[in-house]
Amino acid sequence: MRARSRGEPHPRRPRGGRSADAAPHAFADDAGARRGFQDFTSINEGFRTSEGFLRWLTSNDGPHGYALGLWRSVDDALGFVEGELHRAMAAQQRDHPFEYSQFVGVWAAHTLGRRTTYCERCSRPTVAPADECTSCGNPLHDPFLT
């Protein structure tokens, strides 16, 4: 078995998921919340076409909002943050704020755990990624590889 280089994905891990950016925020008022929703919605296309982008998740708890972006690597996350689309949105937020409070950080995964798929036919585990069950040969669908 050959050694992997530091940046090479582990064959038993999902593709990516090595970096996350989190953005807890609170809106200043109803108008700010509406504008924030519109701005975040408009920047979604930029996320989807960015190198290394995996998922963008958001939730709200009253006036508090939370966003979590998943990226293949820290470099991919920073590439988006330093890109023109994000810089323009950040400049607009600084000039005409719609948020009362905001914090953003980028984190790298310290440890990536093993991902397991359970066969629909025999219920036995198979370490992902895999095209078929190692116990019975049943085809497996891996939603994280699409």
**Tell me: the pLDDT tens digits for 17-39?**
577 777 777 877 888 888 888 88
Task: Looking at the structure, tell me whether residues 123 and 81 fall in a common domain.
Answer: no
Task: Looking at the structure, tell me whether residues 45 and 31 fall in a common domain.
Answer: yes
Q: What is the CATH number of the domain that holds 50?
A: 3.30.70.100
Q: How is 90-114 classified by DSSP, letter by letter?
A: HHHHHHS--EEEE--EEEE-S----
Can you give the pTM of this predicted structure? 0.68
Higher pLDDT, 2 or 34: 34
Averaged over 27-54, what is the pLDDT? 84
Task: Looking at the structure, tell me whether residues 125 and 59 fall in a common domain.
Answer: no
Quote the domain boundaries for residue 35. 19-108
**Residue 83 resides in a domain:** yes
Task: Looking at the structure, tell me whether residues 30 and 83 fall in a common domain.
Answer: yes
The helix-helix angle for 84-95 and 74-81 (nearest 10°) equals 50
Task: Looking at the structure, tell me whether residues 116 and 103 fall in a common domain.
Answer: no
**Residue 14 resides in a domain:** no
**Tell me: the pLDDT tens digits for 70-129?**
998 999 999 999 999 999 988 988 898 888 788 888 989 888 888 899 999 999 999 998
Query: Which pLDDT belongs to residue 136?
Result: 98
Please give the single-letter amino acid code of residue 97: P
**Residue 9 resides in a domain:** no
The listed range with the strongest mean pLDDT (57-61, 88-92, 142-146) is 88-92
**Residue 8 resides in a domain:** no
Higher pLDDT, 113 or 139: 139
Task: Looking at the structure, tell me whether residues 85 and 127 fall in a common domain.
Answer: no
Query: Which pLDDT belongs to residue 146?
Result: 58
Task: Looking at the structure, tell me whether residues 118 and 64 fall in a common domain.
Answer: no
Task: Looking at the structure, tell me whether residues 125 and 87 fall in a common domain.
Answer: no
Averaged over 120-144, what is the pLDDT? 93
**Residue 146 resides in a domain:** no
Task: Looking at the structure, tell me whether residues 23 and 46 fall in a common domain.
Answer: yes
Instruction: Count Cβ atoms within 10 A of the Cβ of residue 81 and give its class: 0-12 exposed, 13-18 middle, 19 or more buried.
Output: middle
Averaged over 39-60, what is the pLDDT? 86
Query: Which pLDDT belongs to residue 62?
Result: 77
**Total domains present in the chain:** 2
